[in-house]
Every structure is written in structure tokens, then in C-alpha cells.
Amino acid sequence: MKTTVELSEQVLNFVRSLAPEPRRSLRVGLRDLEQDRGDIKQLEGELSGWCRLRVKSYRVIFRYEMEESQRVARCVFAERGALVYELFAETIRHLLKE
């Protein structure tokens, strides 16, 4: 099943901020996500229900959703390395308090 990939403004801005080679690698990784290819892992604990895509030293946090019988990967957060999990968890906690 082909997956539609939607990128948040944060993900778009992060990808645009990268140097040309890492930007290209991340774009290829996001395109591969449409075919469910790549280093994808279900997250656990506080981030249960979310997935991560690893492309080199970068991580993209996303969630699969069904929309009109179409599977959508909503990519909401991207950052370098292990820092991504702490920053994303903090963002989620902040949003839940509002």
C-alpha cells in the first residue's frame, strides 16, 4: 500500500536548513517512506503511537493515520540524533498542557 507523506512546517524548515548533501539524503528518505522503506521504528513509552524514520544522523518523528481509505504518514518533527526524542516529548507535554 502506498503511503502519502505529509510534512509539518517544522520538518520542511529543518530540511531546508541543511547543507545540500544531508538535505538530499533526508528527501530521499522521506520519499522512501511512501513505499514503507527505510529505517522505521515504532517508539515506546511516552512516545508510544509514534514512529521514527532514521536517515543517517537525522530522525523524523511521524504517525500513521488513515484518511479516506488512504494511509498517511504525518511527519511532525525532525532533528539531529538522539536529541529529537527529548525535544519532541517536551513539545508534546507542552501541547497537552494548553
Q: How many domains does the chain have?
A: 1
Q: For position 98, what pLDDT does the model report?
A: 57
Q: For position 92, what pLDDT does the model report?
A: 74
- CATH code for the domain of 40: 3.30.2310.20
pLDDT mean for each 10 residues of the chain (98 residues):
91 96 97 94 89 95 92 94 77 71
Q: For position 19, what pLDDT does the model report?
A: 96
Give the chain as a 3 state SS string.
Answer: CCEEEEECHHHHHHHHHCCHHHHHHHHHHHHHHCCCCCEEEECCHHHCCCEEEEECCEEEEEEEEEECCEEEEEEEEEEECCHHHHHHHHHHHHHHHC
Residue 40 sits in which domain range? 3-97
